[in-house]
Structure 1
């Protein structure tokens, strides 16, 4: 037992470093690339139709991985633990309660509430000139249009991912969330926005930290990495193309990168401090269920909603088939993770 616990702790510590350092590097990489290649070729840009399509497909792949992990790995564990706790009398055993599903949707609606509350608070602090909706959900569109024609076009602004909404270019004029040059309040507001955008990542890390077996830690670490690495790169692209000041860019990326290790640390502390096994602790099981609900929120609102709000393309044929392409990307990610889990078991 001691060796098993030791292996799981080592896996969690490595996951914390892996899910913290790699996103940090990926988030800063676009800014470094633009500084190097931009000097040689002024036409170089990440914001191209092909680039947006590639990053969008990678996000959908990561969404499929998370979808499979949630329903084929986390939820079965939660259901098994709930049944055990019901047998020993720590949870009510009435079947109509459907506690695993209740825990899942508690996490889903809790994150939904926090994200909407954070958005409403931040939206009220943004001036009318910079009135673009800043959502954490990558597929959502910002519907606010400034009265000034040089701020935003009539088309709804879109984001590549669950990142700070800042794409409203017109006449080389780009607005960044809370980033008005020389305005300290706006800078702090931007950092708070990134915290709100990264809120669900804490629960992703929590799901990793609450696992009791090293093999389960590695599976979840891989699933979260497949999603977060792409997000981190997209965050870096958005910040770099928006010409965010280097200090703020590093602060934003650092905040986004290390919220997942923070969640892993919290989950590890909770699971290791319990005198009972992780699957017999009511608190741990509830948090695991809520973490799975958070992952469902990420998948359905960040990835699958792209099928409804497809990115417009100058290529009419590509515009018609983009939804189908995204579907196959999600399905491919799902099948890859399903195959890996089947082989592992």
Structure 2
């Protein structure tokens, strides 16, 4: 048991440092933060964003949702809960509507106070040189810029919700390591999570940089996200001795809410933001497919 504990602590430290390394590459490299680059520079950044969108799509459909449905089904079966009502899907929908209601409430409060931050891109060119929303058809035809139909794309609020849902999922990934009782299984799961999370945190960092969030907050987000899986490992180690009767059910419900949150962010923010913009549509789809394929291959390999 002592050696097993050492392996888990090693996995905890490895996850922490590798996540920090990949997370701070887009945040610290000036190239990713340059908002006045050439057209080629903007195109490359857009394609990287599309790749990240494919990564998040795969994480949503092949990782987060299947994990949640498996866990909640196991818990309902264990408790002999039988109902014709699709309870697992309803919990996920609750997560979706929670984010939708929160976001629209925040935006409505800003409008009531007369705040202009969210509406400013409708009148002027944004910081990254992209025109937004309220332009005439002639403006759209004559402009060579990256036009977004989604007025609130990459807003700080949505980026925070993306960070929150991914962080919660990372805790559950860490729990999977912390609750194992064999060294080989700990190493197997840890290696899979290391590869998976390195791509995820890089993509998350790209999205945070594009949201024009202050560098200090980006660093804090990445630091907190990096701590989530190690935190899950620590919690898993702690609860191996003191198991709560309702602990697994509570975890499954939280996973469902996180899954619903992630569905909202993936299909209402990340993908529409890129696919509703003009120019190089097929190339963007190719990069979304590339990100999805890489994550699908990692999932297939276990």
Query: TM-score by structure 1 length?
Result: 0.62
- 1:59 CA drift (Å): 2.2
The answer on whether the counterparts of 2:196 and 2:298 sit within 8 Å (CA) in structure 1 is no
The offset of 1:144, in angstroms, is 6.3
Against the structure 1 CA distance between its residues 234 and 82, is the aligned structure 2 distance closer, same or farther, given a 3 Å change threshold?
Answer: closer
Structure 1 distance, partners of 2:246, 2:8, is 14
Give the structure 1 partner of residue 139 of structure 2. Answer: none
In 2, the alpha carbon distance for the partners of 1:204 and 1:283 equals: 18
Q: Which of 232, 240, 258 matches 2:223?
A: 258
Q: Secondary structure at the match of 2:301?
A: helix
Relative to structure 1, the CA distance from residue 57 to residue 20 in structure 2 (aligned partners, 3 Å threshold; closer, same or farther) is same
**C-alpha distance in 2, partners of 1:118/1:269?**
34
Give the equivalent residue in structure 2 for 1:93.
Answer: 82
Q: Which has the higher helix share?
A: 2
Relative distance call for 1:219 and 1:129 in structure 2 (3 A) is closer
Structure 1 residue 307: Cα displacement: 6.0
Q: Which residue of 1 aligns with 2:24?
A: 24
The answer to whether the aligner puts 1:208 opposite 2:208 as a matched pair is no
Whole-angstrom CA distance in 2 between matches of 1:342 and 1:129: 43
Does the alignment pair 1:301 with 2:268?
yes
Match of 2:47 in 1: 57
1:235/1:21 CA distance change after superposition, 3 Å: same
Corresponding position: 1:111 with 2:99: yes
* 1:275-326: CA deviation from partner (whole Å, max 9, x where unpaired): 4499970111112222222332232223321465123xxxxxxx2xx22222
For structure 2, list consecutive stretches of 5 or more residues without a partner in the other structure.
123-129, 136-142, 178-185
Moved more, 227-236 or 322-331: 227-236
Would you say the 8 A contact 1:65–1:333 is kept in 2? yes
1:207 CA drift (Å): 0.8
Which one of the candidate residues 72, 75, 78 is aligned to 1:82? 72
User: Looking at both structures, which has the greater relative contact order when contacts are Cα pairs under 8 Å and sequence separation is at least 6?
Assistant: 2
Aligned equivalents of 1:82, 1:252: Cα separation in 2: 34
Separation in structure 1 between the aligned mates of residue 264 and residue 190 of structure 2, nearest angstrom: 21
User: Does the CA-based 8 Å contact 2:96-2:261 persist in structure 1?
Assistant: yes
Distance 1:203 1:268, change over 3 A: farther
Shift in Å, 1:234: 5.8
Query: What is the CA distance between 1:14 and its match in structure 2?
Result: 3.3
Tell me: CA distance 1:85–1:227, structure 2 relative to 1, closer, same or farther (3 Å): closer
Q: Judge which range, 229-238 or 108-117, deviates more.
A: 229-238
Per-residue deviation at 1:204? Answer: 0.4
Match of 1:184 in 2: none
Number of aligned positions between the proteins: 274
Contact 1:27 1:237 in 2 (8 A): no
- Cα 1:299–1:3 change in 2 (3 A) is farther
